[in-house]
Amino acid sequence: VWNYIDIAKKEGGRLIAGGEPYQDAELQKGNYVPPTIFADVTPDMTIFNEEIFGPVGSVTPFDTEEEAIALANMTKYGLAGGVFSKDIKRAHRVAQKMKGGQIYVNSYFSSAILDSPGTGWKQSGIGVAGIHKYMISKTVFVDLNDGNQPPV
C-alpha cells in the first residue's frame, strides 16, 4: 500500500488526506496506514488503474455522466465501484452501466456484502465463475425402469 502511495505522489497525485505513517509509537508497531485520498487523479496514473487493497482513495474529475461511466469502466479490474448522487434514478442508471461485481449507491461496503455472491468482473476477485461457490445445487435422478413408470 505504501508503494502505491509513493508512486501516486511521484506521478502527480494531489494528496489531500493521509499519505504519511502514523506518529503514534504503538501504531508504528503494526501495519497501519491512515486513510489516504488523492485528488486530480488521471487515467494514466497507477492508482487509477490498480486495485489497492488498503485505505487509499482517488478522485478523478469528470464533466458528464457518460464520461464518468467511461472512466469507471476503463480499467482491467471490476471488483467494486460506488455511485454517489442525490438523484436516485440517475444513480441507478449509472450503476447499471458500470462494469463491476459490486456497485454501491450512496455508500461503500455495506453489511449487505455479507449475503451477496460479490464476485468481481474482468480481472478482479475470483471471477464470474466464482459465483458457483455461493450456489447450492441439487440433482434429482428418477429411476423409470423399476416398473413404476408414469403413464405416457
Q: Which residue has the cell 462494469?
A: 99
Residue type present at position 152: V
| CB-neighbour burial class of residue 83 (10 A; exposed 0-12, middle 13-18, buried 19+) | buried
Between vectors from CA 113 to CA 36 and to CA 107, what angle results, nearest 5°?
50
Enclosing H/E stretch for 6:
helix 2-10
Query: What was the pLDDT predicted at 123?
Result: 75
Distances (CA, A) of 115 to 59, 83, 134: 29, 20, 10
- pLDDT of amino acid 134: 67
AA identity, residue 84: F
**Mean pLDDT in order along the chain per 10 residues (152 residues):** 97 97 90 95 97 93 97 90 89 92 80 62 67 63 59 58
> Domain ranges in the chain?
2-134
CATH no., domain 2-134 = 3.40.309.10
pTM of the predicted model, to two decimals? 0.74
At 125 the pLDDT is 67
